[in-house]
Amino acid sequence: MIGEKKKCIGLIFGGYSNEHEVSISSAKTVFQAFNSKINKQRFEIKAFYIDKQGNWLNSNLSEKILIDEIKNNKVKKQGMSNRERLNFLEGIEFQNIDIWFPLLHGFNGEDGSIHGLLKFTKKPLVGCGILGSALGMDKILMKTIFSNLKIPQVNYIVFHNEDLDDKEVKKNIIIEIIRKLNFPVFVKPSNSGSSLGISKVTNKSELLLALKKAWEIDPRIVVEEGLDVREIECGIIGQSKLLTSEIGEVRYDSDWYDYNTKYNLNNKIIIPAEVDSKITQKIKEIAIQSCRALSIYGFARVDFFLEKSSNKILLNEINTIPGFTKNSMFPMLWGASGLNIEQLVAKLVDISLD
Ligand SMILES: Nc1ncnc2c1ncn2[C@@H]1O[C@H](COP(=O)(O)OP(=O)(O)O)[C@@H](O)[C@H]1O
Ligand SMILES: [Mg+2]
Protein backbone atom coordinates (compact mmCIF):
# COMPACT_ATOMS: atom_id res chain seq x y z
CA MET A 1 0.00 0.00 0.00
CA ILE A 2 2.90 2.35 0.76
CA GLY A 3 3.94 4.19 -2.39
CA GLU A 4 0.71 3.23 -4.14
CA LYS A 5 -0.96 6.09 -6.00
CA LYS A 6 -4.03 7.41 -4.20
CA LYS A 7 -7.32 6.45 -5.79
CA CYS A 8 -9.53 9.38 -6.67
CA ILE A 9 -13.18 8.83 -5.72
CA GLY A 10 -15.89 10.77 -7.56
CA LEU A 11 -18.81 11.21 -5.18
CA ILE A 12 -22.00 12.23 -6.99
CA PHE A 13 -24.88 13.60 -4.92
CA GLY A 14 -27.99 15.78 -4.88
CA GLY A 15 -29.86 14.96 -8.04
CA TYR A 16 -32.98 15.62 -10.01
CA SER A 17 -35.12 13.56 -7.63
CA ASN A 18 -37.62 13.87 -4.78
CA GLU A 19 -34.92 12.47 -2.47
CA HIS A 20 -32.47 15.30 -3.19
CA GLU A 21 -32.09 16.44 0.43
CA VAL A 22 -31.54 12.91 1.73
CA SER A 23 -28.79 12.46 -0.82
CA ILE A 24 -26.99 15.55 0.48
CA SER A 25 -27.10 14.15 4.03
CA SER A 26 -25.81 10.77 2.85
CA ALA A 27 -23.01 12.41 0.87
CA LYS A 28 -21.89 14.45 3.89
CA THR A 29 -21.36 11.25 5.86
CA VAL A 30 -19.51 9.48 3.06
CA PHE A 31 -17.38 12.56 2.27
CA GLN A 32 -16.31 12.75 5.91
CA ALA A 33 -15.54 9.05 6.02
CA PHE A 34 -13.23 9.31 3.00
CA ASN A 35 -11.55 12.31 4.59
CA SER A 36 -10.76 10.40 7.78
CA LYS A 37 -7.08 10.13 8.64
CA ILE A 38 -6.87 6.48 7.68
CA ASN A 39 -8.72 6.82 4.38
CA LYS A 40 -6.79 9.92 3.34
CA GLN A 41 -3.73 7.72 3.03
CA ARG A 42 -5.43 5.71 0.26
CA PHE A 43 -8.03 8.01 -1.25
CA GLU A 44 -8.59 11.47 -2.57
CA ILE A 45 -12.21 12.52 -2.95
CA LYS A 46 -13.89 14.84 -5.41
CA ALA A 47 -17.57 15.62 -5.02
CA PHE A 48 -20.02 16.54 -7.75
CA TYR A 49 -23.35 18.07 -6.85
CA ILE A 50 -26.32 17.84 -9.22
CA ASP A 51 -28.96 20.45 -8.44
CA LYS A 52 -32.71 19.88 -8.60
CA GLN A 53 -32.78 21.07 -12.22
CA GLY A 54 -30.13 18.54 -13.23
CA ASN A 55 -27.16 20.96 -13.50
CA TRP A 56 -23.78 19.57 -12.42
CA LEU A 57 -21.56 21.77 -10.27
CA ASN A 58 -17.79 21.70 -10.24
CA SER A 59 -16.12 19.94 -7.35
CA ASN A 60 -15.03 23.13 -5.53
CA LEU A 61 -18.57 24.37 -5.13
CA SER A 62 -19.92 20.88 -4.55
CA GLU A 63 -17.55 20.28 -1.66
CA LYS A 64 -18.59 23.55 -0.04
CA ILE A 65 -22.13 22.18 0.15
CA LEU A 66 -20.85 19.08 1.89
CA ILE A 67 -18.98 21.03 4.55
CA ASP A 68 -21.92 23.42 5.02
CA GLU A 69 -19.94 26.40 3.76
CA ILE A 70 -22.76 27.14 1.37
CA LYS A 71 -26.33 25.94 1.42
CA ASN A 72 -27.58 24.20 -1.69
CA ASN A 73 -30.52 26.60 -2.04
CA LYS A 74 -28.11 29.54 -2.01
CA VAL A 75 -26.41 28.19 -5.12
CA LYS A 76 -29.79 28.14 -6.78
CA LYS A 77 -30.72 31.68 -5.76
CA GLN A 78 -27.45 33.25 -6.79
CA GLY A 79 -27.34 31.36 -10.05
CA MET A 80 -24.24 29.75 -11.40
CA SER A 81 -21.65 31.04 -13.76
CA ASN A 82 -20.84 28.89 -16.76
CA ARG A 83 -17.47 28.11 -15.26
CA GLU A 84 -19.06 26.53 -12.21
CA ARG A 85 -21.56 24.54 -14.20
CA LEU A 86 -20.25 21.44 -15.93
CA ASN A 87 -21.21 19.64 -19.04
CA PHE A 88 -20.68 16.09 -17.88
CA LEU A 89 -19.21 14.61 -21.03
CA GLU A 90 -16.89 17.56 -21.69
CA GLY A 91 -15.73 18.16 -18.11
CA ILE A 92 -12.01 17.36 -18.03
CA GLU A 93 -12.22 17.10 -14.26
CA PHE A 94 -13.86 13.73 -14.73
CA GLN A 95 -10.75 12.28 -16.32
CA ASN A 96 -9.05 12.20 -12.92
CA ILE A 97 -11.64 10.01 -11.28
CA ASP A 98 -10.64 6.39 -10.70
CA ILE A 99 -13.85 5.11 -9.11
CA TRP A 100 -17.32 6.61 -9.04
CA PHE A 101 -19.47 6.61 -5.93
CA PRO A 102 -22.98 7.63 -7.00
CA LEU A 103 -25.12 8.50 -3.98
CA LEU A 104 -28.24 9.67 -5.77
CA HIS A 105 -31.33 8.25 -4.08
CA GLY A 106 -34.46 7.71 -6.12
CA PHE A 107 -35.14 8.39 -9.76
CA ASN A 108 -32.61 9.95 -12.15
CA GLY A 109 -29.93 8.16 -10.16
CA GLU A 110 -30.67 5.01 -8.19
CA ASP A 111 -32.87 3.81 -11.07
CA GLY A 112 -29.82 3.07 -13.23
CA SER A 113 -29.68 6.34 -15.16
CA ILE A 114 -26.47 7.51 -13.46
CA HIS A 115 -24.99 4.05 -13.91
CA GLY A 116 -25.69 4.24 -17.64
CA LEU A 117 -24.10 7.65 -17.93
CA LEU A 118 -21.02 6.66 -15.92
CA LYS A 119 -20.50 3.58 -18.07
CA PHE A 120 -19.29 5.94 -20.81
CA THR A 121 -16.35 6.97 -18.61
CA LYS A 122 -15.15 3.32 -18.49
CA LYS A 123 -14.40 3.67 -14.77
CA PRO A 124 -15.70 1.29 -12.10
CA LEU A 125 -18.41 2.41 -9.72
CA VAL A 126 -19.53 1.57 -6.21
CA GLY A 127 -22.84 -0.27 -6.41
CA CYS A 128 -24.48 -2.39 -9.05
CA GLY A 129 -25.08 -1.88 -12.75
CA ILE A 130 -27.92 -0.54 -14.85
CA LEU A 131 -30.06 -3.68 -14.69
CA GLY A 132 -29.94 -4.23 -10.92
CA SER A 133 -30.49 -0.54 -10.27
CA ALA A 134 -33.52 -0.31 -12.54
CA LEU A 135 -35.05 -3.49 -11.13
CA GLY A 136 -34.37 -2.49 -7.53
CA MET A 137 -36.12 0.81 -8.11
CA ASP A 138 -39.17 -0.58 -9.83
CA LYS A 139 -41.57 -2.18 -7.36
CA ILE A 140 -43.69 -3.85 -10.07
CA LEU A 141 -40.79 -5.66 -11.76
CA MET A 142 -39.07 -6.43 -8.48
CA LYS A 143 -42.24 -8.06 -7.15
CA THR A 144 -42.79 -9.99 -10.37
CA ILE A 145 -39.34 -11.56 -10.08
CA PHE A 146 -39.82 -12.34 -6.37
CA SER A 147 -43.17 -14.01 -7.19
CA ASN A 148 -41.43 -16.12 -9.78
CA LEU A 149 -38.96 -17.29 -7.16
CA LYS A 150 -41.86 -17.95 -4.77
CA ILE A 151 -40.37 -15.64 -2.16
CA PRO A 152 -43.17 -14.70 0.26
CA GLN A 153 -44.53 -11.16 -0.18
CA VAL A 154 -47.73 -9.36 0.81
CA ASN A 155 -50.69 -9.75 -1.59
CA TYR A 156 -50.62 -7.10 -4.27
CA ILE A 157 -52.06 -6.00 -7.58
CA VAL A 158 -50.62 -3.64 -10.17
CA PHE A 159 -51.94 -1.05 -12.59
CA HIS A 160 -49.86 -0.06 -15.62
CA ASN A 161 -50.23 3.40 -17.08
CA GLU A 162 -54.01 3.59 -16.64
CA ASP A 163 -55.71 6.91 -17.29
CA LEU A 164 -57.02 8.01 -13.92
CA ASP A 165 -58.83 10.94 -15.53
CA ASP A 166 -61.13 8.46 -17.27
CA LYS A 167 -64.26 7.84 -15.18
CA GLU A 168 -64.77 4.25 -16.32
CA VAL A 169 -61.09 3.33 -15.73
CA LYS A 170 -61.22 4.82 -12.23
CA LYS A 171 -64.35 2.88 -11.36
CA ASN A 172 -62.90 -0.43 -12.57
CA ILE A 173 -59.65 0.05 -10.68
CA ILE A 174 -61.49 0.68 -7.45
CA ILE A 175 -63.76 -2.34 -8.01
CA GLU A 176 -60.71 -4.54 -8.64
CA ILE A 177 -58.92 -3.37 -5.49
CA ILE A 178 -61.97 -4.01 -3.32
CA ARG A 179 -62.55 -7.42 -4.90
CA LYS A 180 -58.98 -8.66 -4.56
CA LEU A 181 -57.55 -7.06 -1.40
CA ASN A 182 -58.59 -6.44 2.19
CA PHE A 183 -58.29 -3.01 3.82
CA PRO A 184 -56.06 -1.39 4.87
CA VAL A 185 -54.14 -1.21 1.61
CA PHE A 186 -50.95 0.64 0.68
CA VAL A 187 -51.04 2.50 -2.64
CA LYS A 188 -47.55 3.09 -4.08
CA PRO A 189 -45.94 4.53 -7.19
CA SER A 190 -43.85 1.77 -8.77
CA ASN A 191 -40.79 4.06 -8.85
CA SER A 192 -40.18 6.34 -5.89
CA GLY A 193 -38.50 6.16 -2.50
CA SER A 194 -38.49 7.48 1.07
CA SER A 195 -42.23 6.63 1.14
CA LEU A 196 -42.96 9.58 -1.15
CA GLY A 197 -46.26 9.17 -3.00
CA ILE A 198 -47.34 6.27 -0.76
CA SER A 199 -50.64 6.28 1.15
CA LYS A 200 -52.17 3.93 3.64
CA VAL A 201 -55.85 3.63 2.81
CA THR A 202 -58.37 2.29 5.30
CA ASN A 203 -61.58 2.52 3.28
CA LYS A 204 -62.97 2.84 -0.23
CA SER A 205 -63.62 6.59 -0.01
CA GLU A 206 -59.88 7.37 0.34
CA LEU A 207 -58.76 5.22 -2.59
CA LEU A 208 -59.06 7.68 -5.43
CA LEU A 209 -57.03 10.38 -3.72
CA ALA A 210 -54.31 7.85 -2.92
CA LEU A 211 -54.22 6.55 -6.50
CA LYS A 212 -53.89 10.09 -7.84
CA LYS A 213 -51.07 10.88 -5.40
CA ALA A 214 -49.11 7.83 -6.55
CA TRP A 215 -49.99 8.43 -10.21
CA GLU A 216 -48.47 11.92 -10.09
CA ILE A 217 -45.10 10.31 -9.39
CA ASP A 218 -45.46 7.24 -11.59
CA PRO A 219 -48.41 6.06 -13.71
CA ARG A 220 -47.41 2.50 -12.83
CA ILE A 221 -48.98 1.74 -9.46
CA VAL A 222 -48.82 -1.06 -6.89
CA VAL A 223 -51.60 -1.65 -4.39
CA GLU A 224 -50.73 -3.96 -1.51
CA GLU A 225 -52.63 -5.48 1.35
CA GLY A 226 -51.47 -3.76 4.52
CA LEU A 227 -50.42 -6.02 7.38
CA ASP A 228 -49.44 -5.37 10.98
CA VAL A 229 -45.69 -5.84 10.74
CA ARG A 230 -42.27 -5.38 12.29
CA GLU A 231 -39.73 -3.89 9.90
CA ILE A 232 -36.47 -5.81 9.59
CA GLU A 233 -33.56 -4.81 7.35
CA CYS A 234 -30.40 -6.55 6.23
CA GLY A 235 -27.32 -5.09 4.53
CA ILE A 236 -25.44 -6.81 1.75
CA ILE A 237 -22.05 -6.01 0.27
CA GLY A 238 -19.91 -7.88 -2.24
CA GLN A 239 -19.61 -8.68 -5.88
CA SER A 240 -18.86 -12.28 -6.84
CA LYS A 241 -19.61 -13.25 -3.25
CA LEU A 242 -22.32 -11.42 -1.33
CA LEU A 243 -21.97 -10.95 2.43
CA THR A 244 -24.84 -10.15 4.77
CA SER A 245 -24.68 -7.86 7.78
CA GLU A 246 -26.39 -8.42 11.09
CA ILE A 247 -30.12 -7.81 10.72
CA GLY A 248 -31.76 -4.80 12.33
CA GLU A 249 -35.23 -3.68 13.30
CA VAL A 250 -36.54 -0.16 13.14
CA ARG A 251 -39.24 0.81 15.63
CA TYR A 252 -41.13 4.06 15.45
CA ASP A 253 -44.12 5.68 17.19
CA SER A 254 -46.26 6.54 14.17
CA ASP A 255 -48.64 4.24 12.33
CA TRP A 256 -46.27 3.38 9.47
CA TYR A 257 -42.84 4.29 8.18
CA ASP A 258 -43.78 7.38 6.17
CA TYR A 259 -41.43 10.17 5.01
CA ASN A 260 -41.50 12.17 8.26
CA THR A 261 -41.03 9.07 10.38
CA LYS A 262 -38.06 7.94 8.30
CA TYR A 263 -36.12 11.06 9.17
CA ASN A 264 -37.28 11.31 12.76
CA LEU A 265 -34.38 10.97 15.16
CA ASN A 266 -36.56 9.33 17.82
CA ASN A 267 -36.81 6.06 15.92
CA LYS A 268 -35.29 3.13 17.67
CA ILE A 269 -32.90 0.94 15.75
CA ILE A 270 -32.27 -2.44 17.30
CA ILE A 271 -29.27 -4.41 16.05
CA PRO A 272 -29.26 -7.35 16.06
CA ALA A 273 -33.04 -7.57 15.73
CA GLU A 274 -34.59 -9.56 18.51
CA VAL A 275 -35.92 -12.50 16.53
CA ASP A 276 -35.46 -16.23 16.56
CA SER A 277 -32.10 -17.33 15.09
CA LYS A 278 -33.90 -19.40 12.43
CA ILE A 279 -35.69 -16.26 11.25
CA THR A 280 -32.40 -14.35 11.13
CA GLN A 281 -30.86 -17.12 9.05
CA LYS A 282 -33.80 -17.25 6.65
CA ILE A 283 -33.78 -13.46 6.22
CA LYS A 284 -30.09 -13.52 5.34
CA GLU A 285 -30.67 -16.32 2.82
CA ILE A 286 -33.54 -14.46 1.14
CA ALA A 287 -31.47 -11.25 1.10
CA ILE A 288 -28.76 -12.96 -0.93
CA GLN A 289 -31.18 -14.91 -3.13
CA SER A 290 -33.19 -11.79 -3.99
CA CYS A 291 -30.13 -9.65 -4.76
CA ARG A 292 -28.73 -12.35 -7.01
CA ALA A 293 -32.06 -12.64 -8.83
CA LEU A 294 -32.13 -8.91 -9.57
CA SER A 295 -28.42 -8.64 -10.44
CA ILE A 296 -27.81 -6.44 -7.41
CA TYR A 297 -24.28 -6.29 -5.95
CA GLY A 298 -21.82 -3.77 -4.54
CA PHE A 299 -24.04 -2.68 -1.70
CA ALA A 300 -27.74 -2.75 -0.92
CA ARG A 301 -30.23 -2.89 1.90
CA VAL A 302 -32.90 -5.57 1.76
CA ASP A 303 -36.09 -4.73 3.66
CA PHE A 304 -38.44 -7.27 5.15
CA PHE A 305 -41.73 -7.33 7.00
CA LEU A 306 -42.23 -9.76 9.85
CA GLU A 307 -45.96 -10.19 10.37
CA LYS A 308 -46.63 -9.69 14.08
CA SER A 309 -49.42 -12.25 14.42
CA SER A 310 -47.74 -15.11 12.52
CA ASN A 311 -44.00 -14.27 12.56
CA LYS A 312 -44.14 -14.80 8.80
CA ILE A 313 -41.21 -13.32 6.83
CA LEU A 314 -42.27 -11.22 3.83
CA LEU A 315 -39.82 -9.59 1.47
CA ASN A 316 -40.67 -5.92 0.96
CA GLU A 317 -38.02 -4.37 -1.28
CA ILE A 318 -34.34 -3.87 -2.07
CA ASN A 319 -32.70 -0.44 -1.97
CA THR A 320 -29.62 -0.28 -4.17
CA ILE A 321 -28.46 3.11 -2.87
CA PRO A 322 -29.66 2.99 0.74
CA GLY A 323 -29.57 5.98 3.08
CA PHE A 324 -26.01 6.64 4.23
CA THR A 325 -26.48 9.31 6.88
CA LYS A 326 -25.01 8.82 10.34
CA ASN A 327 -28.42 7.67 11.58
CA SER A 328 -29.16 5.42 8.64
CA MET A 329 -29.70 1.72 9.07
CA PHE A 330 -27.17 0.62 6.41
CA PRO A 331 -23.99 2.01 8.01
CA MET A 332 -25.30 1.05 11.45
CA LEU A 333 -25.85 -2.56 10.36
CA TRP A 334 -22.28 -2.77 9.14
CA GLY A 335 -21.03 -0.98 12.24
CA ALA A 336 -22.58 -3.78 14.28
CA SER A 337 -21.03 -6.32 11.91
CA GLY A 338 -17.47 -5.11 12.47
CA LEU A 339 -17.03 -2.40 9.82
CA ASN A 340 -17.11 1.18 11.03
CA ILE A 341 -18.08 3.86 8.52
CA GLU A 342 -14.48 4.57 7.44
CA GLN A 343 -13.82 0.87 6.90
CA LEU A 344 -17.15 0.44 5.16
CA VAL A 345 -16.60 3.09 2.47
CA ALA A 346 -13.07 1.77 1.82
CA LYS A 347 -14.43 -1.77 1.57
CA LEU A 348 -17.08 -0.66 -0.94
CA VAL A 349 -14.35 0.81 -3.14
CA ASP A 350 -12.32 -2.40 -2.90
CA ILE A 351 -15.41 -4.41 -3.88
CA SER A 352 -15.95 -2.21 -6.93
CA LEU A 353 -12.43 -3.09 -8.06
CA ASP A 354 -13.04 -6.84 -7.51
N1 LIG B 1 -48.06 -3.99 2.69
C2 LIG B 1 -47.68 -3.26 3.74
N3 LIG B 1 -48.07 -3.56 4.99
C4 LIG B 1 -47.69 -2.80 6.05
N5 LIG B 1 -46.92 -1.71 5.94
C6 LIG B 1 -46.51 -1.34 4.70
C7 LIG B 1 -46.85 -2.10 3.55
N8 LIG B 1 -46.28 -1.51 2.48
C9 LIG B 1 -45.62 -0.44 2.94
N10 LIG B 1 -45.77 -0.32 4.26
C11 LIG B 1 -45.20 0.76 5.09
O12 LIG B 1 -44.76 1.80 4.22
C13 LIG B 1 -43.33 1.95 4.27
C14 LIG B 1 -42.79 2.34 2.92
O15 LIG B 1 -43.09 1.37 1.95
P16 LIG B 1 -42.03 0.86 0.90
O17 LIG B 1 -42.71 -0.04 -0.05
O18 LIG B 1 -40.86 0.31 1.61
O19 LIG B 1 -41.66 2.22 0.13
P20 LIG B 1 -40.29 3.01 -0.09
O21 LIG B 1 -39.64 2.38 -1.28
O22 LIG B 1 -40.69 4.41 -0.35
O23 LIG B 1 -39.47 2.83 1.16
C24 LIG B 1 -42.86 0.62 4.80
O25 LIG B 1 -41.61 0.72 5.40
C26 LIG B 1 -43.97 0.27 5.80
O27 LIG B 1 -43.88 1.03 7.01
MG1 LIG C 1 -38.95 1.06 2.01
Residue nearest to atom 24 of ligand 1 (CA): 257
274 and 316 in a single domain? The answer is: yes
Which residue has a Cα nearest atom 25 of ligand 1?
Answer: 257
Ligand 1 atom nearest 195 alpha carbon: 22
Are residues 147 and 161 both part of a single domain?
no
Query: In the listed set 225, 251, 280, which residue is the last one of a domain according to the structure?
Result: 225
Same domain, 240 and 177: no
What distance in Å separates the CA atoms of residue 18 and residue 91, rounded to the nearest whole number? Answer: 26
Residue 128: its H or E element: none
* Among protein residues, the one whose CA lies closest to atom 26 of ligand 1: 257
Domain co-membership, 185 together with 212: yes
Q: Are 232 and 249 in contact (CB under 8 A)?
A: yes
Residues 209 and 233 in one domain: no
Residues 198 and 173 in one domain: yes
Ligand 1, closest atom to CA 257? Answer: 27
Cβ atoms 9, 118 nearer than 8 A:
no
Asked whether residue 132 is assigned to any structural domain, the reply reads no
**Which ligand is the nearest neighbour of the Cα of 139?**
1
- Number of folded domains in the chain? 3
pLDDT tens digits in sequence order for the chain, 354 residues long: 556 799 999 999 999 888 899 999 999 999 999 999 999 999 999 999 999 998 888 899 999 999 987 776 666 555 566 656 666 666 657 778 999 999 999 888 999 999 999 998 899 999 999 999 999 999 999 999 999 999 999 999 999 988 888 999 999 999 999 999 999 999 999 998 888 999 999 999 999 999 999 999 999 999 999 999 999 999 999 999 999 999 999 999 999 999 989 887 889 999 999 999 999 999 999 999 999 999 999 999 999 999 999 999 999 999 999 999 988 999 999 999 999 999 999 999 999 998
The set of protein residues with a Cβ atom below 6 angstroms from ligand 1 is 154, 186, 188, 192-195, 198, 224-227, 229, 231, 256-257, 303, 316-317
Question: Which residues span the domain enclosing 163?
Answer: 156-225
CA of 188 to the centre of ligand 1 (A): 9
- Whether 323 is covered by a domain: the verdict is yes
Which is the closest atom of ligand 1 to the Cα of 261?
Answer: 27
Q: How far is the CA of 257 from the centre of ligand 2 (A)?
A: 8
Q: Which ligand is nearest to the CA of 200?
A: 1
Distance in Å, CA 229 to ligand 1 centroid: 10
Ligand 1 atom closest to 196 (CA): 22
The residue ranges of DSSP E strands in the chain, in sequence order, are: 7-14, 43-50, 56-57, 85-86, 99-102, 156-160, 185-189, 199-201, 220-225, 229-238, 242-251, 268-270, 298-307, 313-319
Same domain, 245 and 113: no
Helix (H, G, I), strand (E, B) or coil at 36: coil
> 3-class DSSP state for residue 233?
strand
